[in-house]
Chain A
Amino acid sequence: MAVVMDADRMARTLMRIAHEILERHRGADGLALVGIRARGVPIAARLAAHLRDLAGADVPTGALDITLYRDDLMRHAVGPQPVIRRTEIPFSIDDRLILLVDDVLYTGRTIRAALDALIDFGRPRAIQLVVLVDRGHRELPIRADYVGRNIPTSRQQSVQVRLREIDGRDEVEVEG
């Protein structure tokens, strides 16, 4: 039960990632942010706010629900289906550089699903991955381009990212 990132550190981490994005792309032209539901969405919104403050650019921001693309969806013959939330990408992703945003990178299966989903929306120039936490244990050849923090974990542990927009406070906790 250890808090590995508090609110202050999370704020600095996201600001640092925003700087890295601007450095690597020499500005914010042609970028777009797509957050994966649920907690990738507020993180994407915060990064968009930082990019606006730092570069004066309004980066288009969307939300992606990957449920319908999950590879474990139909594997259990009996069991309730995950609830589907809305996907909102109110701009064309064609020829843009898409920054895909999620809270925790673990097996990589969510990201695989998100890549499939995104490609159904068009043909982006490139897709890069932004995560607040990389906890290891990849099951697919996927890596993040921007990582808030690498946290070594065991598979038995769970990593809880809490965000004020959803959970009322900002912190990352490793449980178990």
Chain B
Amino acid sequence: MTSATALRSRHLLGIADLDPSEIELVLETALAMKEIGTRPIKKVPTLRGRTIINLFFEPSTRTRMSFELAEKRLSADTLGMTTTGSSVSKGETLADTARTLEAMAPDMIVMRHGASGAPHQLSRICRASIINAGDGMHEHPTQALLDALTMLERKRRLAGLQVAIIGDLVHSRVLRSNVLLLTRMGAAVRACGPATLVPPGLDRLGVRVTTSIDEALDGADVVMMLRVQHERMSGLFLPSVREYFTFFGLTPARLERAAPDVIVMHPGPMNRGVEIDSEVADGPWSVILDQVANGVAVRMAVLYLLAGGEAEA
């Protein structure tokens, strides 16, 4: 049973602001929201008349579409802004963009930005509830929540799970949010990546850090692969794609070290043959498409819970 019946903040800026009972509340609400996606009419009138602006300063397909679908399933009015073709490409500052949007009186703003802390700045300017859809190398809270929902559905628990997170650790906001969430909920996290892509101080977050994928996989209940961005393949961080796959690519043979009922996750978009073998991505272990479906439910839950305002102290 959950003890929290509301979120304390009216923004969702990061997992860092959520306590375990709030995380449970979001996940419980998301489980209830999932059912709406199975109905003949996949829409409820809950956020009728609410305006939500989707502000994406970085390219995003699945997160933006997932938020948009969640907003539409709750009957909110949505409008989107991407950087190309907007005043941002004409040199407007974030603060000025925020003030302009504020004048349109939206109820919520979903924002992705390349700079860590950008949603926090927005939350100080705008009266709207701000939802962080990924800021720089900082946090991506709804991704961690949908990952947790997927683990919870498959494993029936989070506490005590052995979770291996493998790949580009230093550039990953998905890693940071997942580590915060999983350690808070009592799961044990191992992180693995090439030494050039391990951020200093990661072990202080309660994570076991290793550069050996076999060690990371040993007995793991959940394996989460992180995307390796091609732009990092310039030789500064990694010598070549082939070398990366040799040492850190997830193959069926490697996966034999993990628990027999291991599940494999990936936040997408995948680089087949770089961090993950196609046989794994399409294999029985893969819950990657569950993650996509759960993303909509988690975002519906967050929108619903934030629409009510702050919990009374």
CB distance from B311 to the nearest CB of A (A): 5
Dominant SS among interface residues on chain A: loop
Q: B35–A69 contact, CB under 8 A?
A: no
A168: CB under 8 A from chain B? no
Q: B35–A86 contact, CB under 8 A?
A: yes
Q: What 1/0 flags go to A58-94 for Cβ under 8 Å of B? A: 0000000100110001101111110111111000000
Within 8 A of A (CB), among B40-57: 40-41, 43-50
Instruction: State in angstroms the CA–CA spacing of A50 and B77 once bound together.
Output: 46
B39: CB under 8 A from chain A? yes
- The interface residues of chain B lying within 8 Å CB-to-CB of A77 are 309
Q: A65–B32 contact, CB under 8 A?
A: yes
Q: B32–A86 contact, CB under 8 A?
A: yes
- A-binding segment of B218-226, B258-266, B276-284, B300-308: B300-308
Q: B309–A78 contact, CB under 8 A?
A: yes
Dominant SS among interface residues on chain B: loop
- The interface residues of chain A lying within 8 Å CB-to-CB of B29 are 83-84
Q: B50–A83 contact, CB under 8 A?
A: no
Q: A80–B312 contact, CB under 8 A?
A: yes
CB distance from A36 to the nearest CB of B (A): 15
On whether A80 and B311 interact (CB within 8 A), knowing A68-B44, A88-B35, the answer reads yes
Which A-chain residue is minimally distant from B42 (CB atoms)? A120
Which B-chain residue is minimally distant from A78 (CB atoms)? B309
Q: Which of B74, B301, B308 has the most CB of A within 10 A?
A: B308
Which A-chain residue is minimally distant from B30 (CB atoms)? A84
B89: CB under 8 A from chain A? no
Q: B47–A120 contact, CB under 8 A?
A: no
- The interface residues of chain A lying within 8 Å CB-to-CB of B31 are 86
Number of A residues with CB within 8 Å of any CB on chain B: 22
CB distance from B183 to the nearest CB of A (A): 26
- Pick the contact of A74: B41, B47, B312 (CB < 8 A): B47
- The interface residues of chain A lying within 8 Å CB-to-CB of B45 are 68-69, 116
Q: B304–A80 contact, CB under 8 A?
A: no
Which B-chain residue is minimally distant from A121 (CB atoms)? B39
Within 8 A of A (CB), among B15-44: 25, 28-29, 31-33, 35-36, 39-41, 43-44
Instruction: State in angstroms the CA–CA spacing of A170 and B310 once bound together.
Output: 36
Which B-chain residue is minimally distant from A116 (CB atoms)? B45
CB distance from B307 to the nearest CB of A (A): 7
Q: A81–B32 contact, CB under 8 A?
A: no
A122: CB under 8 A from chain B? yes
Instruction: State in angstroms the CA–CA spacing of A83 and B308 once bound together.
Output: 11
On whether A74 and B49 interact (CB within 8 A), knowing A79-B309, A80-B6, the answer reads yes
- The interface residues of chain B lying within 8 Å CB-to-CB of A86 are 31-32, 35
Within 8 A of B (CB), among A82-132: 83-88, 116-117, 120-122
- The interface residues of chain A lying within 8 Å CB-to-CB of B240 are none
List of 8 A-B pairs having minimum Cβ-Cβ separation, nearest first: A80-B6, A81-B308, A78-B309, A68-B44, A120-B41, A84-B32, A68-B46, A86-B32
Interface residues of A (CB under 8 A from B): 65, 68-69, 73-74, 76-81, 83-88, 116-117, 120-122
A-B contact pairs, 15 of them (CB 8 A): A65-B32, A68-B304, A69-B45, A74-B46, A77-B309, A78-B309, A79-B309, A80-B6, A80-B310, A84-B301, A84-B304, A86-B31, A117-B44, A120-B41, A121-B41
